[in-house]
Amino acid sequence: MHFGEHVTIDGYGGNEKLLNDKTIVFSCLNDLPELLGMHKLSEPVIYFAKGNNIKDPGGWTGLVTIEESHISIHTFPKRGFVSADVYTCKNGMDCEFIFDYFRKKFELKDLETNFIKRGTKYPKEDLY
């Protein structure tokens, strides 16, 4: 038994136009919770983050808070890169669906993914 599951996705070789499209980032954050059987607590928030002239050329960053935790996306269009997190207190997340979802949305050529079980020592009962 564990508290929840956390998937991290780093996508490479994506389509620059798709990665730089605020409406696509918004639609991912808006639609994915329902597709995963999760429930939004608020509308997604998205910001343009300017580059830092070091390794970050800038892109869109967004977050949606869900009852089960959160989903975040950070795009780097000039690098063809996206970094995303899906964290939920639900168990049994369909990782392959999530990976394929991001692959299609941004036309990613390669993915680096991680699956993390969170709260492996989570108490079975209230402590206080």
pLDDT in tens, 24-79: 999 999 999 999 999 999 999 999 999 887 888 899 999 999 999 999 999 999 99
The pLDDT value recorded for residue 41 is 97
Q: DSSP states of 8-67 as a string?
A: EEEEES--HHHHT-HHHHHHHHHHHHHHTT--BSS--EEEEEEP-SSS--EEEEEEEEET
The pLDDT value recorded for residue 107 is 98
Closest CA to 79 of 44, 113, 54, 104: 54
Arithmetic mean of pLDDT over the chain? 95
Tell me, yes or no, whether 45 lies in a domain: yes
Helix 22-35 to helix 95-106 angle, to the nearest 10 degrees? 160
Q: Which residue is it, tokens 């935790």? A: 69
Residue 16 has pLDDT above 80, yes or no: yes
The pLDDT value recorded for residue 56 is 81
Residue 1 has pLDDT above 80, yes or no: no
Which one from 6, 69, 83, 95 is the annotated catalytic residue?
Answer: 69
Tell me, yes or no, whether 123 lies in a domain: no
One-letter amino acid at 100 equals D
Which one from 70, 83, 89, 95 is the annotated catalytic residue?
Answer: 89
Active-site residue, 83 included: no
pTM for this one?
0.92
Tell me, yes or no, whether 126 lies in a domain: no
The pLDDT value recorded for residue 38 is 95
How many domains does the chain divide into?
Answer: 1
The pLDDT value recorded for residue 105 is 98
Q: Which domain holds residue 92?
A: 4-118
Average confidence (pLDDT) over 83-95: 95
Cβ proximity of 44 and 60 under 8 Å? no
- CA-CA distance, 25 to 30, in Å (whole number)? 9
Tell me, yes or no, whether 124 lies in a domain: no
Active-site residue, 74 included: yes
Active-site residue, 89 included: yes
Residue 112 has pLDDT above 80, yes or no: yes
Query: The domain that contains 104 carries what CATH number?
Result: 3.60.90.10
Which one from 70, 74, 83, 95 is the annotated catalytic residue?
Answer: 74
